[in-house]
Structure 1
């Protein structure tokens, strides 16, 4: 077989359509295997039940920019006459030079005209690519109200969730037999790290992609990447190496909990009868999330966060019902009394029967200080929960020492220090929150406070609940006998 035939066959093997590979071959575009996987995903957007957004991200140097322009120009733009595409890029002289270089290399065999002044690339069939740019987020507003059949966004995590949503309103079409779609490429980190991870990476990792498809990028995917550049990435350290060389989405610049490793700290299963002490913690919110974490300690001192309740704009009565339901999902052995019997005297009955965990089994149920603050009518949120049968106790509000204890319990597997804190995979919000938290620049030993946006993405509510859970210790009363009595 000729090199061209091998290339076409490889593309078909990776899921690309024959006409798609023919378009690439006619344009003289030769993509690498990972790029072909991304193009195969792009064609899934044609299906009525297919995705509408394709994400291609991870390590630097993986050929993401090359793929994005090739897919829009050599495939989409050639098979649909008059297609209008918008390619959004962060403004800068280097970016324009990169675009010029890519255009010449990719479209040398395709008839086209390019106006650098207008930022417009036009093909012989009337399809065109608008080279859009933005320096600040407000520049995105220049494109709102316009219509594009395809939108491509480079470095998508430089946009906030709100601005990304704004630009998606422009992705619409009046063409028959064409479904609008958005392609995006990016690296971990940036202001949009949290929403991009929630939109693309989490569904990909959990094998539940419906409206999206994600293709992870690695520097080793690109055989044409400069060897010296690869060496530069290899020689990085800390979060930069994990983000830019490994393409690790569990980290970000300034990450506080650097020992965090999803493959180490997240568990898929837990035997509830292993718990020797059960406790819960609540971080209150209304517009923000109210988060309740359920945890337990085993006989070796390990702490397991086994369940999570997270909702916003709910009143206490609704939360209370959900909390009780969360507890009832867990089965414990028939110990004498999980809350009041000292740990050293735990003795299960022979062949103990399992029963649902109850509120009365919790050794403590902590909450932040705001729950105990009196409102204008003299009531407290804690009082409302107490009337519903949930008696809350003030949590230890020492932020610095609380975060330090979480860090200590996370251990450091690279240094051979095994963790004593584990999270069950059902604690989705906590698992997403913990690796995204950053140092406070004005107080590096503290975590930078962040609020969830109006769509509920981001925020530190779950991490605060974990801090209450881990840092609040039970009170120990020391009884001494006085001499002479």
Structure 2
């Protein structure tokens, strides 16, 4: 098998249809295997029940930027006349890797015109790519209200969930037999880390992708990456190496729980008969999430978080019933809990003189006020996470069904004004992000069992 035959075999295994490969050949493009996988995923958007968003992200230097422009220009624009595409690029990156230079390298064999003044790349069939740049989120507003058949976003995690949602509303079409789609590339970290992880990475890892497809990127995917740059990335340490070289989405700049490892701390199964004592913790909210965690200890001093309840916009009665159902799944009742702790706000009197705790008491839950010391609470979690690289054994494990807690911990960051504390953050309008599950875990671990001291009376 010669090199061309081997290349076509790789493309076929990736799922690229023959006509797509013909278009890449006409453009003079030679894509890497991981880039071919991303292009194959892009073609899935054609199907009525296919995805509408393709994410390609992870390590730096994986060839993501080249792929994004190549897919839009050499494939999408060539097969659909009059296609209108928007490519949004961070201004800083656009300066380093000039758009004009990039399009010359990618489309040298395709007839096209580029107006640097208007920022428009036009092809012979009337299709065009508008090169949009943004320095800050407010710059995105200039593109809102317009219609684009395809939108490509570089450095997607530099956008908040709300701003990404805003630009998503512009991805629509009046063309028959074309489904609008959004392509995005990015690295771990940034203001949008949490929503991007929830939208793309979590469904990919859990094999439940429906309207999205995610292609993980590593620097080793790109044979054309500068060898010196690859060595620089490989020589990094700590969170930078895990994020920028390995493309690890459980780590990012400023992350508080850097010792959290999904492959270490998240477990797939737990035998309830191992439990020595059971306990629970509640972080209450209405607009924010109410999160209840169920945990236990074993005979070796380990703590297992085996179940969670997480919902918002519910009243206490409904939460209480759901928590009872959670206990029932483990053949438990409220009386089986050694303690059930909650945040101090649950015990504050409302305007009618009642408390949230009293409402839960009517359902059989005797809530107790948690230890509210934030710094020591986070320190307790850090201690129990251990340090796998340093040889410190972890003593905290979380069942994979506790999805909100598992997604929350790696997303939390240091408070810049109080480094020993976690930066408080609320979930956005779509429910992404927030620190409610982590607060519940802090209550659970930091609140110790009450001990009754018995003193012998003199003379007895």
TM over 0.5: yes
SS at match of 1:249: coil
Residues 57-68 of structure 1 correspond to what in structure 2 (within 5 A)? 57-68=57-68
Given that residues 366 and 392 in structure 1 are in contact (C-alpha distance below 8 angstroms), is that contact kept between their aligned partners in structure 2?
yes
Q: Which residue of 2 aligns with 1:421?
A: 396
Q: Answer whether contact 1:316 1:385 (CA < 8 A) is retained.
A: yes
* 8 Å Cα contact 1:267/1:422 also seen in 2: yes
Distance in 1 between residues matched to 2:3 and 2:389, nearest whole Å: 44
Deviations 1:159-179 (A, max 9, x none): 000111110111111111111
2:209 pairs with 1:234: no
Structure 1 portions without partners, runs of 5+: 331-355
Which secondary structure does the structure 2 equivalent of 1:46 belong to? coil
Match of 1:388 in 2: 363
Matches of 1:416 and 1:384, distance apart in 2 = 46
Structure 1 residue 458 corresponds to structure 2 residue 458: no
Residue 258 of structure 2 corresponds to residue 258 of structure 1: yes
Which whole-Å deviations, capped at 9, do the CAs of 1:282-331 have from their partners, x for residues lacking one? 0000000000000001111110000000000101110110000000001x
Alignment of 1:441 onto 2:403: no
Post-superposition offset of 1:237: 1.6
Task: Give the deviation of 1:484 after TM superposition.
Answer: 1.6
Counting only pairs closer than 5 Å after superposition, residues 354-365 of structure 1 correspond to structure 2 as 356-365=331-340
Question: Is contact 2:94–2:133 with CA below 8 Å preserved after alignment?
Answer: no
Runs of 4+ in 1 over 4 A off after TM superposition: none
Distance of aligned partners of 1:294 and 1:96 in 2 relative to their CA distance in 1, 3 Å threshold: same
Structure 1 residue 93: deviation in Å?
7.2
Q: Secondary structure at the match of 1:415?
A: coil
Aligned equivalents of 2:7, 2:247: Cα separation in 1: 27
Looking at structure 1, the residues matched to 290 and 322 of structure 2 have their Cα atoms a distance apart, in angstroms, of 12
Deviations 1:71-124 (A, max 9, x none): 000011101111111000112374374322211100010010000010000011
1:376 corresponds to which of 347, 351, 355:
351
1:72 aligns with 2:72: yes
TM-score (norm 2): 0.98
Taking the aligned partners of 1:391 and 1:444, their CA distance within structure 2 comes to 35
Aligned-residue Cα RMSD (Å) equals: 1.1
CA contact under 8 A between 1:35 and 1:64: conserved in structure 2? yes
Tell me by how many angstroms 1:6 deviates: 3.5
Distance, in Å, in 1 between the alignment partners of 2:135 and 2:124 is 31
Alignment correspondent of 2:219:
219
Distance 2:298 2:2 in 1: 63
Task: Give 1:480 deviation, angstroms.
Answer: 1.9
Q: What's 1:189 paired with?
A: 189
Partner of 1:131: 131
- Partner of residue 19, structure 2: 19
- Cross-structure match for 1:118: 118
CA contact (8 A) 1:60 1:244 kept: yes
Matches within 5 A, 1:86-165: 86-92=86-92, 94-95=94-95, 97-165=97-165
Unaligned runs of 5+ in 2: none
Residues 93 and 6 (structure 1 numbering): CA distance in 2 closer, same or farther, change over 3 Å? closer
Cα distance in structure 1, aligned partners of 2:337 and 2:230: 52
Measured in 1, the distance between the counterparts of 2:435 and 2:97 equals: 40
Q: Which residue of 1 aligns with 2:383?
A: 408
User: Against the structure 1 CA distance between its residues 430 and 86, is the aligned structure 2 distance closer, same or farther, given a 3 Å change threshold?
Assistant: same
The number of equivalent residue pairs is 460
How far apart are residue 456 of structure 1 and its match? Answer: 1.1
Matched residue, 1:343:
none
Which residue pairs with 2:320 in the alignment? 320
Check the 8 A contact 1:89/1:95 in 2, yes or no: no
1:58/1:249 contact within 8 Å kept = yes
Q: CA deviation at 1:466?
A: 0.1
Partner of 2:457: 482
